[in-house]
Amino acid sequence: MIEITLLKKDYGGTVVLDGVSARFGLNEKIGLIGRNGAGKTTLLRILTGEDHDFSGKVVRSGGIRLEYVPQSFPDFEGTALDYIVAPYRATRDALRELEDAMETATGNELEKVLARYGQLRSEYDASDGDTAEERAEKYLETIGLADRGDVDVTSLSGGEKNVLALARALVSHPDFLILDEPGNHL
């Protein structure tokens, strides 16, 4: 489902990855082990598409859903439930903006807007975007934060934030779940 071939990445002349090739398939559980600075997070960022400054090739099977739980919890203002469903709300906003753009666009511009709308709508539907809040509430219960959904994220403990990040990733039913230095409690 994901294949990498001869990846090479350097930071200011310091080579971090060189000639890395691998294939990741369904139902595999893979751990990356190495010293600090060995390139584990760099490789994960390349796999997720966050880093495009490398040489080599990354091929993902069409339509796969990939979620990434980073080492540290990002800055976020809002409730625990808001955090979990934020990507869905952002997609809904983007779809509304594209719908508005369809009203005034013509010709090639309209074709581009329609194509983007179709792609985004397909991704949203494939991830059951309309039921995101319902699923998020179930995940909050599963991870032991059922009574914390309305609590501001900034007031959660570090451990609670870690499991919240995991819940956010799981709510989309990813084909690949990438955990960058998960804690023992996960």
Exposure on the CB side of residue 49, measured as CA atoms within 13 A: 7
For residue 40 the two structure tokens come to 């584990």
Amino acid in the structure at residue 94? A
Pairing of strands 55-60, 176-179: unpaired
Element of type H or E holding 45: helix 40-48
How long is the chain?
Answer: 186
Question: How would you write the pLDDT of the chain (186 residues) with one tens digit per residue?
Answer: 899 999 999 998 889 999 999 999 888 888 888 888 888 999 999 998 889 999 999 998 877 888 989 888 889 999 999 999 999 999 999 999 999 999 999 999 999 999 999 999 998 998 889 999 999 999 999 988 988 899 999 999 988 998 999 999 999 888 889 988 876 555
SS3 call for 25: coil
Total-model pTM: 0.80
- Quick: pLDDT tens for 1-43: 899 999 999 998 889 999 999 999 888 888 888 888 888 999 9
Backbone dihedral angles phi then psi of residue 137, each to the nearest 5 degrees: -60, -40
